[in-house]
Amino acid sequence: MNYDNSMRIYFKSDSRNEAFARISVAAFIMQTDPTLSDISDIKTSVSEAVTNAIIHGYENGEGIVELFCGYENDVIYIEIIDKGKGIENIEKAMMPLYTTKIDEERSGMGFTVMETFMDTVKVESKKGCGTKIIMTKKINATSLK
Ligand SMILES: Nc1ncnc2c1ncn2[C@@H]1O[C@H](COP(=O)(O)OP(=O)(O)O)[C@@H](O)[C@H]1O
Ligand SMILES: [Mg+2]
């Protein structure tokens, strides 16, 4: 991919970094002159994916989360990668209301939220190896600024 610009950050799997991640992405994509609605959609999706990496991937333990963000014209690409426990059944995990942490106030709607706010959401995962979430969104699609 020939990005106009891109950035990559690594941070500890610590719930405080959920806010750091979404704010970092929001700051970076300001270069593309996004609408407030685009920014909000992207921040929410990053937040869901990073939270999943921390609480499911690393189960709130030690680990490093990798976040990539790039853009080409008006398409934003985001990857969130963990080297945690991985997802056994991706199709099932992505179903609305499906969660493996029923006892911990999870809603099971994280993937549904990502799919609602982004144009594409792809999940690559291997049990015991980790998970990569690849999301794209064309910004400034229809709305007037
Ligand atoms: N990075 C990840 N590593 C391991 N499992 C994950 C990861 N992301 C999601 N999952 C699995 O997919 C399920 C659904 O995720 P999600 O839709 O965000 O709902 P919730 O986080 O509320 O459980 C999780 O309960 C978990 O089992
Ligand atoms: Mg979730």
| Three-state SS letters, 74-99 | CEEEEEEEECCCCCCCHHHHCCCCCC
Phi, psi for 138 (deg, rounded to 5)? -85, 120
Q: Which element (helix H / strand E) includes 114?
A: helix 110-117
Phi, psi for 94 (deg, rounded to 5)? -85, -5
Is 22 marked active-site? no
Q: For residue 121, give the CATH number of its domain.
A: 3.30.565.10
Segments forming the whole domain that contains residue 104: 5-138
Q: Give the pairing of strands 75-82 and 64-72.
A: antiparallel
- Using CB distances shorter than 6 Å, the residues near ligand 1 are 48, 52-53, 56-57, 82, 84-87, 93, 98-101, 106-111, 131
Residue 10 maps to a domain: yes
Ligand 2 geometric centre to CA of 47 (Å): 9
Q: Give the tens place of pLDDT for each residue, 61-105.
A: 999 999 999 999 999 999 999 999 999 999 999 999 999 987 666
Domain count, the chain: 1
Q: Give the tens place of pLDDT for each residue, 13-24.
A: 999 999 999 999
Residue 143 maps to a domain: no
Q: Which element (helix H / strand E) includes 25?
A: helix 17-29
